[in-house]
Amino acid sequence: MTGRESAKSGQKPLLSLRNINMTFGGVRALKDVSFDVLPGEVHCLAGENGSGKSTLIKIITGVYRPQDGAVIEFDSQTYSHMSPVTAQNSGIQVIWQDLALFPEMTVAENIAFQTLLGRWPRFVNYNAMREKAVKALARLGVTLDVDRPLKDYAIAQRQIVAIARALVGEAKLVFMDEPTASLTQSETDHLLDIVRTLSASGVAVVFVSHRLAEVLEISSRLTVLRDGALVGAYSTDGMTQSRITELMTGKTFDQTVRASDVGASPVVLEVEELSLPGQFEDISLTVRRGETLGITGLLGAGRTELALSLFGMLKPRSGSIKLEGKPVHFSSNRDAIAAGIAYLSEDRLSLGLIQPQSIADNLVIASLDKITVSGLLSDTRKRDLVAQWIADLGVKIGLQTDAISTLSGGNQQRIAIAKWLATDPRLLILDAPTVDVGARAGIFDIVAKLAETGLAIILISDEVPEVYFNADRVLHMAKGRIVNQFLPADCSLAEIEAAVYA
């Protein structure tokens, strides 16, 4: 029985939520949300970053307490709110993206350790623990050496261990948060088969994934949130990826390949046999003026480590880097910035922007020399520089003095890009630059316009469509090496995805 077949019309919901409201610091994170999950179904919870998905899950699992008036019904019991203990004892489990496992402990200990927890100290019954672990894995049709440390296993097997741990907790409902983000296609296929096995055994699964093709393959229904409000619940029969995107954003997107031939343009960056053992090996590539070079691959492929080496934050063991034909050696990111390299980190919150500081301060922090007169910072130059980039990138703000945290994710990302453009770089490295589906089109419009001005750009993303539609060339990294090159103008998206997820 498939996930689609398990959700039968007329069934009484296993989980039913009504009048769910949540406010953080005066901002309504959830607004009168309703949500149902049927017994044994595979249900997708969809929405952009900030739409309220995680908040809703944390209310269901007792991490957050909703505002008065909420009604939570689970397995024929009614609650105004849940506690984490109540949720777990009722059979609600969450497998977060970071898995929350213990690499140094054995597989058996990771699966069954919660059964050992109690009010008073007691001796550990290792035989009983091993038996529970083996039985849980058997339910999934998987055989692992439960006595081996978890660190000996790859991420795909660790996902299975996390699912088995949920089964030991007698799960009736399992939430999976981006479970396939770092898996190959064969590993993903295996995981989806396990989800079908769970569904067939009567366990309901709520699947959260940005890979919409998987959502359509595995789910029978999906619930869409937008800006904390319920858009609706829909059958996945006849649903398309573009329609889900429209429901999530309220917008229609026209996706076309933007690739162009810049082979005659001068080379800005030339990398030859660059290596950092344990991170990447023998990387050779070029980027030309006006070119957007895409780099994609699964999580852990070494893409970010390569970017950090080009930006002077990691020191390669061997190989060479040339900028416009001249060898460069960076002792720090300051050297890279001075040489004309800018790097937009994928971790915008902790590395890209300083959340308590003002919009203006965040924008000028990398280009203080431009607003300095006789050794002192000029408020006028600062104000003019900020106004210029806000206008050029179409950033929607209140006042320049407002905290950067007051902006939406998309507008924060535009400020982060503006911060680096203000340094007049020759090369801009964008590491996972999009924050959500809605902001994506605007960000890539900016990238295209920057390339037209002659800026050399490296675009890094684990979402293959991002590089396919927005890069002139695409490099595929796997296990620290470049293994393929694609020209989007001459190949299909499916060809690149087949190679990346093989």
- Rounded distance, CA 346 to CA 329, Å? 24
Which amino acid is residue 33, in one-letter code? V
Q: 160-207 pLDDT, tens per residue?
A: 999 998 888 789 999 998 887 667 667 888 889 999 999 999 999 999
pLDDT attached to residue 436: 59
Order the strands of the 221-226 sheet from edge to edge.
Answer: 77-79, 71-74, 15-24, 27-37, 229-235, 221-226, 42-46, 204-208, 173-177, 92-95
β-strands 221-226, 229-235 pairing = antiparallel
pLDDT at 5 > cutoff 70: no
pLDDT band at 79 (very low <50, low <70, confident <90, very high): very high
| 147: helix, strand or coil | coil
Architecture of domain 1-90+211-251: 3-Layer(aba) Sandwich (3.40)
CATH superfamily name and code, 265-340+425-502: P-loop containing nucleotide triphosphate hydrolases (3.40.50.300)
Cβ-count burial 377-395 (b if 16+ within 10 Å, e if not): eeeeebeebbeebbeebeb
Lowest mean pLDDT among 229-243, 265-279, 307-321: 229-243
- The average pLDDT across 51-75 equals 94
Only one residue has tokens 């009567």, namely 202
- The average pLDDT across 337-362 equals 82
Cα distances from 381 to residues 167, 367, 424, in angstroms, run 61, 11, 16
pLDDT attached to residue 76: 93
Q: Greater confidence, 395 or 436?
A: 395
| 28: helix, strand or coil | strand
Q: Residue 466: which of 418, 421, 433 has the closest Cα?
A: 433
- The average pLDDT across 208-216 equals 84
**Range(s) of the chain covered by CATH 3.40.50.300:** 1-90+211-251, 265-340+425-502
| 453: helix, strand or coil | coil
Q: Residue 178: which of 297, 90, 301, 54 has the closest Cα?
A: 54
pLDDT band at 3 (very low <50, low <70, confident <90, very high): very low
pLDDT attached to residue 347: 63
Above pLDDT 70, what percent of the chain? 92
Average model confidence (pLDDT) for the chain? 88
CB under 8 Å to 56, separation ≥6 — which residues? 17, 20, 30, 33, 35, 45, 225
pLDDT attached to residue 445: 83
β-strands 71-74, 173-177 pairing = unpaired
Instruction: Say if residues 73 and 13 touch (Cβ distance below 8 Å).
Output: yes
pLDDT attached to residue 334: 92
